[in-house]
Amino acid sequence: MKVLVYGSGVIGSYLAHVLCSAGNDVTVLARGRWREQLEARGLRIRHHLQRRETLDHPKVIGNISEDEAYDVVFAVMPYNKIGAITKPLAAVRAPLVVLVGNNMNPAAMEKAILDGSVCKKQVLFGFQVTAGKRDVENGLLICERLGAGNMDIGGLHRLPEDATRSKLSEAFAGTGYKLNWQPDMEAYLICHLAAILPIGYLAYTCGGDMRASTGAQRRLIRLASREAYAMLKTQGIPILPAGDDRYYATGLRGTLMQFLYFVMAKNKTIGDLVACEHCRNAYEEMEMLDAAFMGIVDRTPSAPMPHWHALRAQMPGWEEVRRRYSRVASPH
């Protein structure tokens, strides 16, 4: 299968590795020094928890050619940049485009791609649970993941058709990578922010080092997320993946989530790869996601969120976050 991965950060690079492992004809779109490293050295990934390195050699391009056609395009860009590539995605000759990552404006992006498309096209949305960082100087990507990886994927408000699911499953055949089909990715992407924004608030509060957090602050993360899920239910937004809100309640699942926060705080490498590195380098995306989610919070006064507001109030303002991290963001 001929596949284009548009974007080569942590998520896109790991996705390209998996697709190469499945024997696909993989092309990666990258720019700047990272593109130079990929062309010169290949796609080199250090899998942190698995304690091994892999090397793949996908084709590397800097721009989409109108003469090339693909079976599938995975567009992997941060939310603050994905809107800028809807025209190239509309122009690419491919019947299926999957927008991977945070997205609080999926309907408009789907419409922009379909309205300008040069061919009949289907747009899906996905979210891959992968973290890490790029070491551009050494041409190395450090990846944090559990198992072979997975992607939650689906249409805006529908499950993909059987033929589409079969096609995508074929692209990952034999890798152990799991596709979790979701019936409403717009709801899924909103729910995801209920889980990750409180972690981001604490990461910024602690100056990008979760070891500086207290037990009380880490408990506040879970309580804030619990309030956010309850607020979304008040709005009539389905919780996806189904049952995820139970990880923020009392009981065994809540205890497990609290333990994961503890691990992130006590192990600097894991804390950096899972949360802090992203907050440092994607502060513009985090600010936009926060603004979009707070719009939902502000229009739901019937669902009080004292823990959410208390945690959010501890972090520096976004102007200070921009000033502090604009100097440390990794080049793309």
Residue 124 has pLDDT above 60, yes or no: yes
Distance between CA atoms of 281 and 120, rounded to whole angstroms? Answer: 36
- Tell me what pLDDT residue 273 has: 84
Which pLDDT value is given to residue 49?
A: 87
Mean pLDDT in residue range 179-196: 98
Instruction: Convert the pLDDT of each residue in 44-72 to its tens digit.
Output: 999 998 999 999 999 999 998 888 999 99
| pLDDT tens-place string over residues 199-219 | 999 999 999 999 999 999 999
321 found inside a domain:
yes
What strands, in cross-sheet order, belong to the sheet with 140-144?
52-56, 43-47, 140-144, 131-135
- Does the pLDDT value for residue 323 go beyond 90? yes
Task: Based on the fold, state whether residues 66 and 178 are members of the same structural domain.
Answer: yes
Instruction: Look at the block and give the residue holding tokens 């989610």.
Output: 293
pLDDT category of residue 328 using cuts at 50, 70 and 90: low
Residue 332 domain flag: no
pLDDT at 16 over 90: yes
Are residues 228 and 173 in contact, defined by beta-carbon separation less than 8 angstroms? no
Does 215 lie in the same domain as 112?
no
CATH number of residue 164's parent domain? 3.40.50.720
Q: What is the average pLDDT value for the chain, to the nearest integer?
A: 94
With vertex at residue 195, the alpha carbon angle to CA 194 and CA 198, rounded to the nearest 5 degrees, is: 85
One domain, residues 206 and 244:
yes
User: How confident is the model at residue 332, as a pLDDT?
Assistant: 38
Query: In this structure, what token pair is assigned to residue 307?
Result: 């823990």
pLDDT at 28 over 50: yes
What distance in Å separates the CA atoms of residue 206 and residue 253, rounded to the nearest whole number? 26
Clarify whether residues 262 and 139 are in a common domain.
Answer: no
Asked if residue 198 lies in contact with residue 223, where contact means CB atoms within 8 angstroms, the answer is no
At which of 156, 183, 210 does a domain end? 183
Q: Do residues 171 and 196 both lie within one domain?
A: no
Query: Does residue 175 share a domain with residue 40?
Result: yes
- Pair 248, 312 in one domain: yes
Q: What are phi and psi of 14, to 5 degrees?
A: -65, -40
Spatial separation of the C-alpha atoms in residues 134 and 34, rounded to whole Å: 9
Beta strands at 96-100 and 122-128: parallel, antiparallel or unpaired: parallel
Tell whether the model's pLDDT for residue 330 goes beyond 90: no
Residues 95 and 63 grouped into a single domain: yes
Report how far apart, in Å, the C-alpha atoms of 55 and of each of 18, 29, 30, 250, 269 are: 11, 17, 17, 43, 22
Q: CA-CA distance, 112 to 301, in Å (whole number)?
A: 33
Question: Domain boundary at 134, 160, 183, which?
Answer: 183
pLDDT score of 137: 87
Query: Is residue 330 domain-resident?
Result: no
Beta bridge partners of 128: 151
> What's the whole-number mean pLDDT along residues 271-293?
93
One-letter amino acid for residue 133 of the chain: K
Strands 150-154, 178-181: pairing kind: parallel
Are 166 and 108 part of one and the same domain?
yes
Residue 128 lies in a domain: yes
Q: What is the mean pLDDT of residues 243-255?
A: 95
> Quick one: CA torsion of 88, 92, 98, 104, rounded to 10 degrees?
20
Six-digit token pair at 154?
């689906």
Domain span including residue 285: 187-325
Asked whether the predicted pLDDT for residue 41 surpasses 90, the reply is yes
Query: What is the separation of C-alpha 267 from the centre of its chain, rounded to a whole number of angstroms?
Result: 22
- Token readout for 143 is 């990846």
C-alpha–C-alpha distance, residues 47 and 285, integer Å: 25
pLDDT (tens digit per residue) in 66-98: 889 999 999 999 999 999 999 999 999 999 999
How sure is the predictor about 238, in pLDDT bands with cuts at 50, 70 and 90? very high
Q: CB 269: neighbour CB atoms within 10 A? A: 10
The edge-to-edge listing of strands for the beta sheet with 59-61 is: 59-61, 25-29, 2-6, 72-76, 96-100, 122-128, 150-154, 178-181
Judgement on whether residues 193 and 176 belong to the same structural domain of the protein? no
Read off the pLDDT of residues 156-170 as tens digits, 9 standing for 90 and up: 999 999 999 999 999
Contacts of 144 (CB under 8 A, 6+ apart): 48, 49, 130, 131, 132, 270, 273, 274
Q: Are residues 13 and 128 in the same domain?
A: yes
Number of domains in the chain: 2
Within a domain: 30: yes
pLDDT at 274 over 90: no
pLDDT at 331 over 50: no
Is residue 12 located within the same domain as residue 83? yes
- In this model, does residue 19 exceed pLDDT 70? yes
Give the SS3 label for residue 72. strand
